[in-house]
């Protein structure tokens, strides 16, 4: 596999497939002030192809859903804090650049390839027949906020990029030296001593003074920014609102029932057999045999007659009127000869009778009432919309015009561009109203949009007031800034304590002496570890530092699960000569052909590296423009430092 294939698997389409396998949907916790976007701007353009904040937000959301299905419990804000949105944007830029390049050189996935790919997605298949189901496909797209053209375009682009990269990197082979390097990397071990100190060794952190708080406040302006909010009024044009107001008299319901009764009645149905005879004598003989209990198949065979069957047919479905009269006039099990219109003589026997079903007024009353109400509601709605527009033209406000027209109103005091209120929670009244929200943030203050179709309604949005983006006052965030200061100061002092140990060892003290003198407890002495073992130490970079350090060097890192600091000394380094295991070296070389042994990531080996270099060159030559300011405004980190950093 190719590195590019692996990168493509992080894209929107493949993430959707992972979601279908996981089968879970997740509600995301989006804190106040985060992830707002203006749908009219682009985070990046690649050879004219735009990447919008909405597209990146969706890509982030789908990626997090897939990860949560695999047990990674990470919120959307935590993902932003870790820079995941920037990595996804880079990936989207790369995909767009590759697709643009493929377009230039005339490489494109065909319509059948796109169709076959979509037909294999589990979520678009009928659960009974296992075949493609158009309704299931529509529900699948709606759940993931894709339009059909948009989704099919993404599928085509990913298939096209696979074709392109597959042809570009074909035939790449890893040299033998790669296997030797991999062998040396995986078999290397180190002997270390490890010590740990709790946060208490640095004592209590004194509270910051006003100048320190002010400095921190000025440094944190972007993180403390409150997004733009808008006060909205929504006017709903819903037939259901008017249908509920309509009172249909009983007399009219009864009259409508009587008018529909014939159409609603289910006619009597019968199952029968029919034998075609050449003359009356043959027909009488066949009828007699059937009445004596012989089977229709036996009679037809003995007399060389054509046998046909009618299954659960109404009178109108029997092709010959005289035969139909005979079928629907005789008792079950009886056979008789009939002179037909289409054949000279026919013998019929009735095998089953399903009586006619005449609907009652009670069973049809509500359905008839709803149908009448729906018709009248449509007329009332059209009248109401006309009255609303007339009132607006006469100078009435949106609210007053809606009240005069008896149309439903919803007031939203404050909402940001993601649908969140000032408390950071999504406003439930706006669920499914993404187009309304986007339109609201494109509409000037004190103006209203046209009616926008939303499910079973049309919605007009009026922007009553725009609350500009601001920075939270110092007084409101002082407690938060004090916490940030304390975290930073604690981390600084802990690192200084670790630096004391490093300096003491360099000055000639033993690791144990230096560690204990600075308040550390020795956790391990002269212990042999490999890369997997050091990866279990709860510190982000300590394992990497241990295997990058020289013999005798001391490295430090903060714990990730509690306020504490690790220090470790690399006492010695053990490496195995690759010449002692040639077969293992060759196996590792073959594995490096397509897989990276360092990360165990499929498609991240030599072929992947070559593909990555090609992609980098294509992106470099593409006309890529990024709006870093827009990215920072719409995907803002919380600004709270991690003590481990």
- Give the whole-angstrom CA distance, residue 104 versus residue 621: 13
Domain count for the chain: 4
> Which is higher by pLDDT, 553 or 592?
553
Asked if residue 584 belongs to a domain, the reply is: no
So what's the pLDDT on residue 171?
54
Asked if residue 128 belongs to a domain, the reply is: yes
Residues 42-88 pLDDT 10s: 888 888 888 888 888 888 888 888 887 777 777 788 888 888 888 88
Residues 528-537 pLDDT 10s: 999 999 989 9
Q: How confident is the model at residue 14 (pLDDT cuts 50, 70, 90)?
A: very low
CATH number of the structural domain spanning residue 99:
1.10.4030.10
- Give the whole-angstrom CA distance, residue 235 versus residue 463: 12
Mean per-residue pLDDT of the chain:
81
Contacting residues for 430 by C-beta, under 8 A, at least 6 apart: 412, 415, 419, 436, 437
Residues 59 and 143 in one domain: yes
Residues 218 and 82 in one domain: no
Residues 14 and 104 in one domain: yes
pLDDT at 136 over 50: yes
* Mean predicted confidence (pLDDT) in 310-326: 85
> Which is higher by pLDDT, 644 or 457?
457
> pTM (2 decimals)?
0.43
Q: Say which range, 187-201, 232-246, 388-402, 591-605, has the weakest mean pLDDT.
A: 591-605
What H or E segment, with its residue span, contains residue 321? helix 321-327
So what's the pLDDT on residue 211?
93
Residues 323-367 pLDDT 10s: 888 888 888 888 999 987 767 888 999 999 888 877 777 777 777
- Give the whole-angstrom CA distance, residue 32 versus residue 35: 9
Residues 435 and 394 in one domain: yes
Asked if residue 610 belongs to a domain, the reply is: yes
**How is residue 315 annotated by DSSP?**
G
Last residue of a domain, one of 354, 385, 412: 354
Last residue of a domain, one of 574, 591, 622: 574
Residues 75 and 215 in one domain: no
Question: Considering Cα of 398, then 402, then 404, then 405, what sign does the dihedral take?
Answer: positive
Asked if residue 591 belongs to a domain, the reply is: no
Residues 429-475 pLDDT 10s: 898 898 999 999 999 999 999 999 887 788 999 999 999 999 989 99
Residues 491-550 pLDDT 10s: 999 999 999 999 999 999 999 999 999 999 999 999 999 999 998 999 988 999 999 999
Report the length, in residues, of the chain: 645
- Give the whole-angstrom CA distance, residue 557 versus residue 498: 8
The pair of three-digit structure tokens given for residue 409, joined into one six-digit string: 């109103």
- Asked whether 147 and 434 are in contact (CB, 8 A), the reply is no
- Give the whole-angstrom CA distance, residue 259 versus residue 249: 16
Residues 109 and 236 in one domain: no
For residue 275, give its domain range: 266-354
- Give the whole-angstrom CA distance, residue 493 versus residue 556: 13
- Give the whole-angstrom CA distance, residue 388 versus residue 409: 12
pLDDT at 9 over 50: no
Asked if residue 595 belongs to a domain, the reply is: no
Asked if residue 338 belongs to a domain, the reply is: yes
Residues 144 and 13 in one domain: yes
CA angle, 110 then 57 then 613, to 5°: 55
- Give the whole-angstrom CA distance, residue 588 versus residue 285: 88
Residues 170 and 87 in one domain: yes
- Give the whole-angstrom CA distance, residue 508 versus residue 511: 9
The share of the chain scoring above pLDDT 70, in percent, equals 85
- Asked whether 308 and 351 are in contact (CB, 8 A), the reply is no
* Mean predicted confidence (pLDDT) in 230-257: 80
Which residues partner with 524 through β-bridges? 194
Residues 207 and 242 in one domain: no
Which residues partner with 226 through β-bridges? 470
Last residue of a domain, one of 421, 451, 468: 468
Residues 211 and 275 in one domain: no
Residues 428 and 379 in one domain: yes
Asked if residue 597 belongs to a domain, the reply is: no
pLDDT at 587 over 90: no
Neighbouring CB atoms inside 10 A of 514's CB total: 23
Instruction: Look at residue 541 and give its three-state secondary structure.
Output: coil
64, 115, 152, 601, 602 from 6: Cα distances, Å: 17, 22, 20, 8, 7
**How is residue 642 annotated by DSSP?**
P
- Asked whether 569 and 552 are in contact (CB, 8 A), the reply is yes
Asked if residue 643 belongs to a domain, the reply is: no
Residues 480 and 555 in one domain: yes
Distance of CA 521 to the CA centre of its chain: 48
CATH number of the structural domain spanning residue 348:
3.10.50.40
Longest dimension (CA), the chain: 127
pLDDT at 176 over 70: no
Residues 278-288 pLDDT 10s: 888 988 998 89
- Give the whole-angstrom CA distance, residue 410 versus residue 316: 55
What's the number of CA atoms in the CB half-sphere (13 Å) around residue 294?
15
pLDDT at 600 over 70: no
- Give the whole-angstrom CA distance, residue 629 versus residue 625: 12
Residues 144-157 pLDDT 10s: 777 888 888 888 87
Neighbouring CB atoms inside 10 A of 293's CB total: 7
Q: How confident is the model at residue 554 (pLDDT cuts 50, 70, 90)?
A: very high
pLDDT at 21 over 50: no
């Amino acid at each position: 596999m190719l590195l590019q294939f692996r990168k493509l698997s992080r894209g929107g389409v493949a993430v959707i497939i992972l979601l279908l396998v996981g089968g879970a949907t997740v509600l995301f916790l989006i804190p106040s002030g985060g992830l707002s976007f203006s749908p009219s701007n682009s985070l990046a353009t690649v050879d004219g192809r735009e990447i919008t904040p909405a597209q990146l937000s969706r890509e982030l959301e789908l990626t997090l859903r897939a990860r949560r299905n695999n047990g990674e419990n990470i919120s959307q804000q935590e993902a932003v804090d870790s820079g995941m949105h920037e990595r996804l944007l880079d990936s989207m830029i790369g995909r767009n650049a590759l697709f643009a390049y493929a377009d230039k050189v005339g490489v494109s996935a065909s319509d059948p390839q796109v169709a076959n790919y979509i037909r294999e997605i589990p979520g678009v298949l009928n659960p009974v027949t296992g075949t493609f189901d158009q309704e299931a496909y529509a529900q699948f797209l709606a759940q993931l906020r894709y339009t059909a053209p948009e989704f099919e375009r993404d599928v085509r682009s990913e298939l096209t990029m696979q074709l392109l990269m597959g042809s570009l990197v074909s035939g790449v082979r890893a040299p033998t030296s790669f296997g030797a390097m991999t062998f040396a990397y995986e078999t290397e071990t180190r002997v270390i001593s490890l010590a740990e100190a709790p946060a208490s060794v640095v004592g209590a952190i004194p509270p910051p003074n006003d100048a320190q708080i002010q400095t921190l406040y000025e440094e944190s302006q972007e993180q403390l920014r409150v997004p733009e909010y808008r006060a909205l009024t929504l006017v709903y044009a819903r037939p259901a609102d008017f249908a509920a107001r309509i009172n249909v008299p009983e007399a009219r319901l009864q009259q409508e029932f009587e008018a529909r009764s014939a159409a609603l009645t289910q006619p009597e149905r019968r199952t029968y057999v029919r034998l075609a005879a050449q003359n009356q004598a043959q027909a009488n003989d066949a009828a007699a045999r059937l009445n004596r209990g012989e089977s229709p198949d036996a009679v037809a065979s003995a007399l060389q007659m054509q046998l046909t069957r009618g299954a659960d047919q109404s009178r109108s479905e029997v092709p010959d009127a005289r035969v139909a009269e005979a079928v629907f006039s005789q008792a079950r099990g009886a056979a008789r000869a009939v002179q037909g219109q289409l054949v000279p003589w026919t013998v019929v026997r009735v095998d089953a009778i399903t009586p006619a079903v005449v609907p009652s007024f009670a069973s049809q009353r509500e359905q008839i009432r709803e149908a009448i109400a729906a018709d009248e509601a449509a007329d009332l709605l059209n009248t109401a919309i006309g009255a609303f527009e007339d009132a607006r033209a006469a100078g009435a406000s949106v609210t007053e015009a809606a009240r005069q027209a008896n149309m439903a109103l919803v007031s939203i005091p404050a909402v940001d561009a993601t649908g969140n209120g000032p408390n950071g929670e999504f406003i439930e009244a706006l669920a499914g109203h993404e187009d309304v929200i986007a339109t609201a943030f494109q509409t000037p203050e004190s103006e209203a949009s046209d009616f926008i179709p939303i499910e079973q309604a049309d919605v007009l949005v009026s922007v009553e007031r725009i609350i500009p983006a601001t920075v939270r006052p110092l007084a409101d965030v002082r407690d938060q800034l004090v916490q940030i200061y304390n975290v930073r100061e604690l981390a600084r002092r802990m690192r200084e304590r670790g630096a004391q140990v490093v300096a003491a060892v360099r000055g000639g003290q033993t690791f144990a002496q230096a560690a204990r003198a600075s308040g550390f407890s020795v956790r391990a002495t002269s212990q042999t570890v490999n890369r997997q073992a050091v990866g279990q130490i709860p510190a982000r970079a300590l394992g990497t530092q241990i295997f990058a350090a020289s013999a005798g060097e001391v490295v430090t890192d903060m714990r990730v699960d509690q306020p504490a600091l690790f220090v470790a000394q690399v006492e010695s380094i053990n490496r195995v000569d690759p010449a002692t295991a040639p077969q293992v070296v060759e196996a590792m070389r073959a594995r490096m052909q397509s897989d990276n042994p360092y990360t165990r990531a499929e498609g991240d080996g030599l072929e992947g590296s070559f593909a990555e270099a090609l992609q980098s060159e294509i992106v470099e030559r593409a006309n890529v423009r990024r709006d870093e300011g827009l990215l920072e405004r719409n995907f803002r980190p919380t600004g709270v430092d991690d003590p481990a950093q």
